[in-house]
Amino acid sequence: MIILPNVAPPALKPCLKSEYMKPFLPESFPTAFVDRYTALFGEQTMEEILHGYDAPRQTWFRINPLKISIQEGWNQLRSENIPFSADPMFEDAGWVEPENRSVLLESEAVLNGFVYVQGLASQLPVRFLDVSPGQTILDLAAAPGSKTLQIAGLVSTEDEIAAVELVRKRKFKLQENLSRNGAETVRVFLQDGTKVWKYRPEYFDRVLLDAPCSSEGRFDLHDPSSFSYWTPSKVKEMVRKQRRLLFSAIHSLKPGGTLVYSTCALSQEENEGAIDYVLNSFGECIEIEPIDFSAAERSDAVLTWRKKTLDARISHACRILPSNRMEGFFLCKMKKTASSNPSFPGKKSW
């Protein structure tokens, strides 16, 4: 158990940041991470992040409309005496406290697919994608399929949903998850997401890119494997992948369409920096739209880092700090206002 001081820490020289935090962290926790994000967020926010990594987290879920109606789903949970709480903002979402996690996971509601366990932060990208029947929708990095299932529950079985996954093993896991939970009509492709735009240029009404990332928002101080892989070079590696995927996502999106980009990372490079790359690369054909979501965990976008100031429009993005309710997360909603390239080649087969 981490013990953090109840009073504000004294002012510290930059070289002492990790020395100050070290007594309150597991010995294996990377001090470079503490240095980096204390510099980015400040000491008070860094303490909030550590509290979020330490706190037992609520288990969130949503009713799966592919299997049951929302009202019947709540009734099912009540009939099993599951001690849940319903979210006041989203009619299909709720949670159980950490001590009741196993009760929920072993319930008939979960085992039969009526209830799908999915973190609150993970649910947000689809909730702000503005999905409705009649649209063509692309999930560009889909495995294991939680968000693809969420999309499928908002449209009809006749609507086209394409779910893309590069890794064969993860693609089979994605297919199995979709089939088990009632989304058999989703088309799953074993494909490099960075190349999808070549096959379906400006084809989709909605594109979701929940990008591969450094997963910093999901660290658990009681589970060293959750952070043992982390290095600054890991962040740089993810940035390269994210930019290529964003390029493909925007070229795959119709003019007038909506793209939501999300990660479970904390780094400015993977989040605000990625959106700055989009605005610099695609100019006036992309607009950033505000996300109407208020939560105690929401914090301001970070527009200045290492003497570089980003486009002010990025302040509309939603950054979430880790807590007992949510993992750390970032999402940005974009509207494509004009063609990104009017001279695309003709449509190719997948």
Preceding omega of 345 cis (within 30 degrees of 0): no
Residue type, 5: P
In this predicted structure, the answer to whether residue 122 has a pLDDT above a threshold of 80 is: yes
Q: Please tell me the CATH superfamily of domain 120-336, with its number.
A: Vaccinia Virus protein VP39 (3.40.50.150)
More confident residue, 307 or 148: 148
Angstrom distances, CA of residue 239 to CA of 82, 115, 145, 257: 41, 34, 22, 24
CA-CA distance, 138 to 259, in Å (whole number)? 9
Least confident window among 8-12, 68-72, 77-81, 290-294: 8-12
CA-CA distance, 154 to 169, in Å (whole number)? 27
3-state secondary structure the chain: CCCCCCCCCCCCCHHHHHHHHHHHCCCCCCHHHHHHHHHHHCHHHHHHHHHHHHCCCCEEEEECCCCCCHHHHHHHHHHCCCCCEECCCCCCEEEECHHHHHHHHCCHHHHCCCEEECCHHHHHHHHCCCCCCCCCEEECCCCCCHHHHHHHCCCCCCCCEEEEECCHHHHHHHHHHHHHCCCCCCEEEECCHHHHHHHCCCCEEEEEEECCCCCHHHCCCCCHHHCCCCCHHHHHHHHHHHHHHHHHHHHHEEEEEEEEEEECCCCCCCCHHHHHHHHHHHHHHEEEECCCCCCCCEECCCCEECCEECCHHHHHCEEECCCCCCCCEEEEEEEECCCCCCCCCCCCCC
Q: Mean pLDDT over all residues of the chain? A: 91
Q: Which CATH code fits 59-117?
A: 3.30.70.1170
Q: What's the length of the chain? A: 350
Predicted confidence band of residue 16 (pLDDT cuts 50, 70, 90): very low
Percent of all residues in the chain with a pLDDT value above 90, rounded to a whole number = 88
CB–CB of 64/116 below 8 Å?
yes
The segment(s) of the chain belonging to CATH 3.40.50.150 are 120-336
The segment(s) of the chain belonging to CATH 3.30.70.1170 are 59-117
More confident residue, 241 or 343: 241
User: So what's the pLDDT on residue 306?
Assistant: 87
CA-CA distance, 148 to 151, in Å (whole number)? 5
The overall pTM is greater than 0.85 = yes
What is the tens place of the pLDDT at every residue in 304-337? 988 899 999 999 999 999 999 999 999 999 999 9
In this predicted structure, the answer to whether residue 119 has a pLDDT above a threshold of 70 is: yes
CB–CB of 330/320 below 8 Å?
yes
Closest CA to 160 of 122, 141, 134: 134
Is 318 an active-site residue? no
User: So what's the pLDDT on residue 2?
Assistant: 33
What is the tens place of the pLDDT at every residue in 235-290? 999 999 999 999 999 999 999 999 999 999 999 999 999 999 999 999 889 999 99
User: So what's the pLDDT on residue 1?
Assistant: 33
User: So what's the pLDDT on residue 243?
Assistant: 97
Percent of all residues in the chain with a pLDDT value above 70, rounded to a whole number = 91
* Mean pLDDT (whole number) for 52-58: 95
User: So what's the pLDDT on residue 24?
Assistant: 67
Which tokens is 108 given?
């008939």
User: So what's the pLDDT on residue 13?
Assistant: 35
From the candidates 264, 285, 318, 332, which is the catalytic residue?
Answer: 264
What is the tens place of the pLDDT at every residue in 222-234? 999 999 999 999 9
In this predicted structure, the answer to whether residue 156 has a pLDDT above a threshold of 70 is: yes
Pairing, β 161-165 against β 93-96: unpaired
